């Protein structure tokens, strides 16, 4: 399996957002270092998720970037994505691993060492850990865990930890110092005036 990219762009399909334009811009700056996770609103139909995932996958293929699908693993399989990401309301990690097979990239959400080690034992190949900072992108989240919470998970597992929640380029150094392998962002790119430039700044912070 190729190594996981360090910058994960999660698509923003809220009204008024333009996910494909943001993905295109991010790919020009991050190229194969980018992982694009196709995430649609819970209210979206499978057909809408499938159509977006097909388009994102085609864009990623041009740059040898990785495409994952959030929640809907049947969509991931249907489009031929590299894998998917599951959390507490989705398929259990072991079931998700059975769906994706041994070679699929499987991310799981965790915010504490106990759930993190369980997810890895069940077959997660990376962990999305957070929220690290407050965010308005998703409602109903627990309190932010900060870099200290990230460090606790990093110390408990041997898979890449991807920090998520309120991540900006300025916050990357502290998350990396806490052991995060990479970061996942929505707003830092979807709300950026210049998403290619914002991507370059995130990549610089992740690789310097
Ligand atoms: C990289 C990454 N980490 C965490 C999440 C959150 O997944 P989940 O908890 O299932 O919440 P939803 O994104 O499905 O609303 C993620 N998607 N990616
Ligand atoms: C889906 C999700 N899960 C935890 S935080 C989050 C949203 C992250 O979005 P942003 O990067 O805009 O804070
Ligand atoms: Mg989910």
Query: Known binder of ligand: residue 109?
Result: yes
User: 84 with 96: CB under 8 angstroms?
Assistant: yes
Tell me how crowded residue 139 is: count the other CB atoms within 10 A of its CB: 6
Tell whether ligand 2 has an atom less than 6 A from the beta carbon of residue 13: no
ipTM value greater than 0.90: yes
Tokens of 84: 């998917």
Ligand 1 midpoint to CA 28 (Å):
25
Q: Which residues line ligand 1 (CB under 6 A)?
A: 8, 10, 37, 39, 70-71, 85, 87-88, 90, 107, 109, 128, 138, 162, 164, 184
Region class of 165: left (phi > 0), else alpha (psi between -120 and 50), else beta: left
Whole-number Å distance between alpha carbons of 138 and 94? 25
Domains of the chain (ranges; CATH) run 7-207 (3.20.20.70)
pLDDT tens across the length of the chain (208 residues): 558 999 999 999 999 999 999 999 999 999 999 999 999 999 999 999 999 999 999 999 999 999 999 999 999 999 999 999 999 999 999 999 999 999 999 999 999 999 999 999 999 999 999 999 999 999 999 999 999 999 999 999 999 999 999 999 999 999 999 999 999 999 999 999 999 999 999 999 999 8
Whole-number Å distance between alpha carbons of 141 and 123? 24
């Amino acid at each position: 399996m190729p190594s996981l990219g360090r910058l994960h762009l999660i698509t923003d399909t809220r009204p008024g957002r333009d996910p494909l334009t943001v993905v295109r811009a991010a790919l020009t700056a991050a190229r194969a270092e980018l992982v694009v996770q196709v995430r649609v609103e819970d209210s979206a139909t499978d057909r809408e998720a499938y159509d977006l995932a097909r388009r994102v996958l085609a864009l990623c293929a041009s740059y040898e970037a990785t495409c994952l699908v959030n929640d809907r693993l049947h969509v991931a399989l249907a489009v031929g994505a590299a894998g998917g990401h599951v959390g507490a309301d989705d398929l259990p990690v072991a079931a998700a691993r059975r769906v994706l097979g041994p070679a699929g990239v499987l991310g799981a959400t965790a915010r504490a060492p106990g759930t993190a080690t369980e997810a890895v034992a069940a077959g997660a190949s990376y962990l999305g850990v957070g929220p690290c900072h407050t965010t308005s992108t998703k409602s109903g989240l627990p309190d932010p865990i900060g870099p200290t919470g990230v460090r606790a998970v990093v110390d408990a597992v041997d898979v890449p930890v991807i920090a998520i929640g309120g991540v900006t380029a300025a916050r990357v150094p502290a998350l990396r110092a806490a052991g995060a392998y990479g970061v996942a962002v929505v707003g830092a790119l979807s709300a950026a005036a210049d998403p290619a430039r914002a991507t370059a700044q995130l990549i610089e912070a992740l690789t310097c």
